[in-house]
Amino acid sequence: MGLRSAPMSRVVLVGLKEDRDRILSYLHDHGVIQVESLGKEGLREFSPDHPGGEQREVLEQQARVKALVQALPPVPVTLKQRFEDVPSLLAAARAVPVDEEVRQRKRREDQLITERKAAEDELHLVEDYAFFPGDFELLRAQSLVSYFGEASEEAFAEFESELYREAPDRLLFYRLTERRVRFVVSLPRERAEGATRSAQKLSVRLIPVPEGLSGTASALAPALAALVEEKEKALAEVRRELAELARRWVPVLLPLEEQLDVEARKAELISRMGASREVFALEGWMPKDRVEGLSRGLETLTRGRTLLFPVKSEEAPPTLLKNRRGPRAYEFFIRFYSFPQSAELDPTLVFAIVFPIFFGVMLGDVGYGAVILAICLWLIWRVGNPRAGRTLVPRSLVRFTSMIMPPSAMKQLAKALIPGCLVAIGLGVLFDEYFGFSLAQLTFGHYNFQLFDPVSNSGVAKLLLYTGYTGLAMVSLGFLFGVVNSLTEGNRREAVAKGIWLVLAWDIALAGLALLHKQITINPVATPLTGVFLGVAVALILGVAALEGGQGAIEVMSLVSHILSYTRLVGILLASVILAVVINKIALGLFHNGFLAIVGVVILVIGQGFNIVLGVFEPGIQGARLVYVEYFSKFYHGGGRIFRPFGAPRRYTEPQFAPPSSPPAGQVPGP
């Protein structure tokens, strides 16, 4: 773990074509190289390569096996299978004889689902309009157009009036249910267009009477219910047959699918390689510290018939972050903003330290911190846990949150918020804040054991001072990182400018502190030290203007605002505390009245729930913003490429070549 991403090296691999399949399998199972298209120099020596007939059959069998897996219901598979080579894999895929059986049953299942849905819809229609006294077949006379309709009471009244004007000879039956009106209307065919226009204008729903609807409601309903049950039984039988096929063949198909995916990726890779009659070549990026080990492994594999050597490249390498398990959870926020370039300092570690502190300070309550912590732990347990089962959370809320953020990202966010919740709980004990209540006062009456009062004048003043120091530290660290990044890129002019900005930030901060402590005044004549601060600031601003132009000098006010922006930590904390106190006072004030006590409980629950929601969003958004804007803007460029090595984890197959005991160097950690 560190502030630098893994150093990368551009490498060229040259080997014999007869070893190519084994070499690609070795590269896949070790997952350490991101293969790129062959460069210009390589294309001078080699021609672009193309997959052969064997690879084309791999793609065909991959599509076939995937279709079978998707058609069959899922079955748990625990045993892993090993395939020695491509011919044995293709032979195993060809030996699966269930295509026609699965196809017929899936076709039958789709047909039954369609027929059941049609019967259910017709049954609901008949039940909803059972008040029609006659045979539904009468509604389909050649000279008439008939509709089933539904509307609100007000819309129906207007529609009925317009219908009377358009077609006074219409036939209308209706029934009122729960402030909705269902009706059956028949009118001459030449009057239908005017009726549909009126219905559209008044938001009245009209459904044409279905073809084949014949008989009275009392006779049709039992017959349709029996038809639905018949289709349901037939569907259950087809699904039982599919489940039986799945139990027998899914344990065979899943390993085949996974290994065919591997071979398909290898075939795709061939089109980005170069080849001559007997030799092939590929280029790619890999961690510099893995080059020697991979070279030795390939030499052993091919008995010295493979060359792997680094080459110079003007292209920016991909970025492989080296964070450990804890800070790695905060890479989610870095990717959301922009991935760092390989030569840049990795901001993840600093983010992992300061974001939980910012979040906890803005929350600052034991109760809120504990509730959000419990929600985070539940999310981590729930996402990806097949045995989690149903919960008390409404499905509509689950679907809504999934639209905002996929479950994997939600799980990463939950992990990132846990340290912040712990900080909030610790500060809540210090502030004696429990959902806005003082536990000491509730327990000991008028005695107050509050270690720090964030709402008092002295408490607010101290917190503002602490956040001011925090802002100065973050801005200074940003400029310091900017100096390091600029020197790494060889841009000395920018490095000097960042250094000047760093000194200017301290000059302004020290002048502000001296002014607050009345050590200086705004009059430089009365206080010579004021002139010193002012002179240093002017000289530094002129230096920035000389290096960055006039725009750099204008950014001085932004520098001040960025430092002071960290005082929002106090503002959001106070807003949360005061809102909780107000909710509690209003609710408790109603507890003395028996009837109003219920209203007080409702206010307390809804108000505290609203404050908890704010406690997730406001500290989360503002905490990330303080890093993204006030900190990142001093040094961070982003726009880097994520290192994506050739390879993928295996669930159902054994690797052909055992990878190292540690995870592949390039695997981006999953949620």
pLDDT digits over 408-454, tens only?
788 888 999 999 999 999 999 999 889 988 876 666 555 556 678 88
Using an 8 Å Cβ cutoff, are 630 and 474 in contact?
A: yes
Tell whether 429 is covered by a domain. Answer: yes
pLDDT at position 662 is 43
Higher pLDDT, 257 or 137: 257
Q: What is the mean pLDDT of residues 528-535?
A: 64
Higher pLDDT, 389 or 64: 64
pLDDT at position 167 is 73
CATH at 123: 3.30.70.2750
- Angle of helix 20-30 relative to helix 291-302, nearest 10 degrees, comes to 140
Burial of residue 355 (CB within 10 Å: 0-12, 13-18, 19+) is buried
CA atoms of 356 and 363, how far apart (whole Å): 10
Tell whether 281 is covered by a domain. Answer: no
Tell whether 96 is covered by a domain. Answer: no
Query: How sure is the predictor about 663, in pLDDT bands with cuts at 50, 70 and 90?
Result: very low
pLDDT at position 227 is 93
* Residues 6 or more apart whose Cβ sits within 8 Å of residue 369: 360, 363, 421, 422, 423, 424, 425, 428
Q: What is the mean pLDDT of residues 618-647?
A: 92
Nearest-CA neighbor of 81 among 249, 266, 250, 259?
A: 259
Using an 8 Å Cβ cutoff, are 509 and 560 in contact?
A: no
pLDDT at position 666 is 41
Which residue among 212, 229, 246 closes a domain? 229
Using an 8 Å Cβ cutoff, are 428 and 366 in contact?
A: yes
Do 189 and 337 belong together in one domain? Answer: no
Query: How sure is the predictor about 669, in pLDDT bands with cuts at 50, 70 and 90?
Result: very low
CA atoms of 4 and 251, how far apart (whole Å): 44
pLDDT at position 494 is 87
Q: Which pairs count as long-range contacts for 164-170, CB under 8 Å and 24+ apart, including other chains?
A: 166/191, 166/194, 166/195, 166/198, 167/191, 167/194, 167/195, 170/195
Helix or strand (DSSP H, E) at 17: none
Nearest-CA neighbor of 183 among 174, 192, 191?
A: 174
Sequence letter at residue 195: A
Burial of residue 221 (CB within 10 Å: 0-12, 13-18, 19+) is middle
CA atoms of 521 and 542, how far apart (whole Å): 23
Nearest-CA neighbor of 109 among 232, 195, 14?
A: 232
Higher pLDDT, 254 or 596: 254
Percentage above 70 pLDDT, the chain:
87
Nearest-CA neighbor of 25 among 510, 618, 479, 658?
A: 658
Do 384 and 525 belong together in one domain? Answer: yes
DSSP string, 351-388: HHHHHHHHHHHHH--HHHHHHHHHHHHHHHHHTT-TT-
Tell whether 294 is covered by a domain. Answer: no
pLDDT at position 442 is 60
CA atoms of 471 and 473, how far apart (whole Å): 5
- Angle of helix 594-625 relative to helix 366-382, nearest 10 degrees, comes to 70
Using an 8 Å Cβ cutoff, are 376 and 417 in contact?
A: yes
Which residue among 181, 208, 229 closes a domain? 229
Which residue among 203, 229, 255 closes a domain? 229
Question: Residues, the chain, total?
Answer: 671
* Residues 6 or more apart whose Cβ sits within 8 Å of residue 662: none
195 pLDDT exceeds 90? Answer: no
* Residues 6 or more apart whose Cβ sits within 8 Å of residue 57: 90
CA atoms of 165 and 490, how far apart (whole Å): 85
pLDDT at position 671 is 31
Helix or strand (DSSP H, E) at 176: strand 171-177
Do 221 and 329 belong together in one domain? Answer: no
Q: Which single residue is written with the structure tokens 């000047």?
A: 500
Tell whether 552 is covered by a domain. Answer: yes
CA atoms of 86 and 92, how far apart (whole Å): 10
395 pLDDT exceeds 70? Answer: no
526 pLDDT exceeds 60? Answer: no
38 pLDDT exceeds 90? Answer: no
pLDDT at position 645 is 94
- Most confident region among 89-98, 194-203, 652-661 by mean pLDDT: 89-98
Nearest-CA neighbor of 257 among 62, 390, 112?
A: 62
pLDDT, one tens digit per residue, over 220-265 is 999 999 999 999 999 999 999 999 999 999 999 999 999 999 999 9
258 is written with which tokens?
A: 């996974």
Strand partners, 279: 16
- Taking the CB of residue 619, how many other CB atoms lie within 10 A of it? 27
HSE of 584, CA atoms in CB hemisphere, 13 A: 13
pLDDT at position 480 is 93
Q: Which single residue is written with the structure tokens 């990878």?
A: 659
State the chain's maximal CA–CA distance in angstroms: 105
CA 514 to chain CA centroid, Å, is: 47
CA atoms of 307 and 1, how far apart (whole Å): 31
Edge-first strand order for the sheet with 171-177 is 171-177, 180-188, 144-152, 205-208
Do 620 and 488 belong together in one domain? Answer: yes
Q: What is the mean pLDDT of residues 269-296?
A: 91
pLDDT, one tens digit per residue, over 333-388 is 998 889 999 889 999 999 999 999 999 999 999 999 999 999 999 888 877 665 55
Nearest-CA neighbor of 65 among 263, 243, 240, 236?
A: 263
Q: What is the domain extent for residue 161?
A: 111-229
pLDDT, one tens digit per residue, over 308-326 is 999 988 888 999 998 888 8
Q: What is the mean pLDDT of residues 504-531?
A: 71
Tell whether 318 is covered by a domain. Answer: no
Region of 436 on the Ramachandran plot (φ > 0 left; ψ -120 to 50 alpha; else beta): left
140 is written with which tokens?
A: 């389909």
Eight-state DSSP code of residue 191 = G
Q: What is the mean pLDDT of residues 464-483?
A: 92
Nearest-CA neighbor of 299 among 285, 312, 309, 287?
A: 309
Do 202 and 336 belong together in one domain? Answer: no
pLDDT at position 665 is 40
Torsion angle in degrees (nearest 10) through CA of 635, 636, 641, 644: 90
200 pLDDT exceeds 60? Answer: yes
- Most confident region among 33-37, 588-592, 664-668 by mean pLDDT: 33-37
Total domain count for the chain? Answer: 2
- Angle of helix 153-166 relative to helix 192-201, nearest 10 degrees, comes to 150
Nearest-CA neighbor of 58 among 91, 26, 18, 22?
A: 91
Sequence letter at residue 148: F
Out of 132-136, 198-202, 280-284, 447-451, least confident range: 447-451
pLDDT, one tens digit per residue, over 64-97 is 999 999 999 999 998 899 998 889 999 999 999 9
Query: How sure is the predictor about 493, in pLDDT bands with cuts at 50, 70 and 90?
Result: confident
Do 349 and 220 belong together in one domain? Answer: no
Nearest-CA neighbor of 167 among 150, 188, 149?
A: 188
Query: How sure is the predictor about 44, in pLDDT bands with cuts at 50, 70 and 90?
Result: confident
Helix or strand (DSSP H, E) at 184: strand 180-188
Out of 184-188, 457-461, 525-529, 533-537, least confident range: 525-529
DSSP collapsed to 3 states, 229-295: HHHHHHHHHHHHHHHHHHHHHHHHHHHHHHHHHHHHHHHHHHCCCEECCCEEEEEEEEEHHHHHHHH
Tell me the pTM: 0.76
CA atoms of 130 and 123, how far apart (whole Å): 10
Do 446 and 571 belong together in one domain? Answer: yes
Q: What is the mean pLDDT of residues 116-141?
A: 88
Q: For all residues of the chain together, what is the average pLDDT?
A: 85
CA atoms of 122 and 637, how far apart (whole Å): 61
409 is written with which tokens?
A: 């990202």
Query: How sure is the predictor about 396, in pLDDT bands with cuts at 50, 70 and 90?
Result: low
Tell whether 92 is covered by a domain. Answer: no
